[in-house]
Amino acid sequence: MKASAFVYPWDVNGDPRAPRHLAELGIQQVTLASAYHSTRALTPRHPRHRVVTAEHAAVLYPPGDRWSGRTLRPFPAGAWAPEADAYGEAAAALADAGLETHTWVVLAHNSRLGAEHPDTSVVNAYGDRYPWAPCIAQPATRAYLVDLAAEAAVRPGARGTELESLGWYGLAHLHAHDKTGGVALGDAGQYLMSLCFCPDCRAGYAGHGLDPDALAAAVRNALEPVWRGAPSDGGWPAVGKLLGDTTANATRAWRDATARSLQEEAVAAVRAQAPDGFQVLLHADPVSYHCGANAGVDPAHILSVADGVVVPCTGGAGLLTPFAEQHRAGAVLAANLTVVSGMGGSPGTLADDAARARDLGATELRLYHAGLASDTDLAQVRSALTGR
C-alpha cells in the first residue's frame, strides 16, 4: 500500500538531511502541514532546535490577496516558522528527494480566532464559549473556512490535500494544561456538551421545531446526573435517553446538515482552484455525531463528495469498515496509524497493523508523525515498509 508520513515544515527546513531520511523510510508521499493549530512539538533530529512552540493557529505560507479587507482572515506564523514561505521551502526540498507532497490543512480548530473574535466560537448550553472551536453554522465563519481550505490546500506542486477538522469541533480538545477529564462524559455527554447555542445555531434548532431556550435547559437537566457521576456512555441511544429521541434527532438533523453542506462547499472550493487529478481527502470518523479533528461524517455521503478519507486506526482499524462497505470504486481509504511509541503508537507492529487495516478495506497508510518520532521508532517503520 502507498504510505505517507505527516510532517511539519520545521521538521525539514534547516535540516538538509531530513528529506533523504524521510525518503529512506520507504514512504512515497509526505503530508505536509500548510495550515495548522497551536502546538508544542519535539524535533528529535534537527540540527538547530529540539522543541518548536507554535503559539497560535497559522498558515505556513504567505496568505493571498483574497483576505484583503476581511475581518476573519488567517494568521501568519511567527518565529516557529520564520521563512517567507515555510511550507513552500519544505515542499521543494521534499520534491527534490523524490517524495510526492500533499497539503495538511487544519480548519475548524483555531484558538486565536476564538480569542480575537469570540462571537465565532461554539457556545454550550451553559453559555461557556469554546474559543478553540469555530461554529461552522455561522455564515462568516463558513466563508472563512471554505476560502482557507481552497488556499491552504492548493499550494504550488501539491498533488492533493487532507482536510482535518472539517466539521464540528466540540468540548474534547487537548488544551494547554487541560483539566476536563475529571468527569467521564462518554459519547452522550460529549455530544450534549458540544451542542452550540450561538445565534445561528439557535435559529437552526428553531427551524427543526425546537425552542432553543427549552433545549438548552433540557441539556443542562440531562447532564446534571452526569456531573454527579452517572454514566453517559452507550452511544447515540444514550443521547436519546438523556434528551428524548425526538429532541435528540432534531439536534442531529441540524448539525448533520450543517456539516455536510460545509464539507461540500469546501471540497468544491478546493477543486475549483486545483489542477486535474488533485486528490481531496477528509480526516473522518464514520459516526456523524462525533466531534473533533476527525470530523463525524456519513460514509455514503462523504465518499460521494471527496476522493476518500483518512481514518484513525491506532488501537484498531474497525472504523474503516463503514467506509469500506460503501464499495466506492477508486475511493481512498487511508488507515492513520500512530508510529510514535511515546504517544501510544506501536511502530514495531506496523506491518501487522497495516495488514489488518488492508483486510478491512484500507487502500493506503498514513503514519503519524515522522517529525515527532525517535530514531528507534523510525527504524521500525523503515523495517516494516522496506524489509531493511
Judge whether 184 lies within some domain. Answer: no
Q: How far apart are CA 331 and CA 304, in angstroms?
A: 9
Percent of the chain exceeding pLDDT 70 equals: 99
Q: Is residue 229 part of a domain?
A: no
Positive or negative: CA dihedral 133, 142, 187, 299: negative
Residue 353 lies in a domain: yes
Query: Is 203 domain-assigned?
Result: no
Is 195 part of a structural domain of the chain? no
Would you tell me how many other CB atoms lie within 10 Å of the CB of residue 235? 14
Taking each helix axis from N to C end, the angle separating 212-227 and 199-207, rounded to the nearest 10 degrees, works out to 100
Q: How confident is the model at residue 208 (pLDDT cuts 50, 70, 90)?
A: very high
Q: Does residue 182 surpass a pLDDT of 90?
A: no
Calculate the alpha carbon distances from 55 to 153, 173, 360 in Å. Answer: 22, 16, 39
Count up the domains in the chain and report the number: 1
Q: What pLDDT is stored for residue 180 in this prediction?
A: 74
For position 155, which CATH number holds? 3.20.20.80
Res 141 pLDDT > 80: yes
Count Cβ atoms below 10 Å from residue 222 Cβ, excluding itself: 21
Residue range 194-220: mean pLDDT, rounded: 98
* pLDDT at residue 233 in the model: 87
Mean predicted lDDT score pLDDT of the chain? 96
Q: Is residue 167 part of a domain?
A: yes
**Quick check: helix, strand or coil at residue 304?**
helix
Give the mean pLDDT of 115-120.
Answer: 97
pLDDT of residue 183: 86
Q: Quick one: cell of 46? A: 534537527
Average pLDDT over residues 193-209: 98
Is 90 exceeded by the pLDDT of residue 177? no
164 within some domain: yes
pTM over 0.85: yes
pLDDT-based confidence at 184, cuts 50/70/90? confident
- pLDDT band at residue 181 under the 50/70/90 scheme: confident
User: Which residue has better confidence, 172 or 348?
Assistant: 348
Torsion-angle region of 178 (φ positive above 0: left; ψ -120 to 50: alpha; else: beta): beta
Is the pLDDT score of 97 beyond 80? yes
Distance of CA 328 to the CA centre of its chain: 23
Q: What is the pLDDT of residue 175?
A: 66
Determine the average pLDDT of the residues in 196-202. Answer: 98
pLDDT 10s digits, 213-266: 999 999 999 999 999 988 888 899 999 999 999 999 999 999 999 999 999 999
Q: Is residue 214 part of a domain?
A: no
Range of the domain at 55: 2-179+259-386
Q: Would you place residue 13 in the very low, low, confident or very high pLDDT band (cuts 50, 70, 90)?
A: very high
DSSP for 76-127, written as a single string: BP-TTS-STTHHHHHHHHHHHTT-EEEEEEE-S--HHHHHH-GGGEEE-TTS
CB 167 within 8 A of CB 306: no
pLDDT above 90 (res 179): no
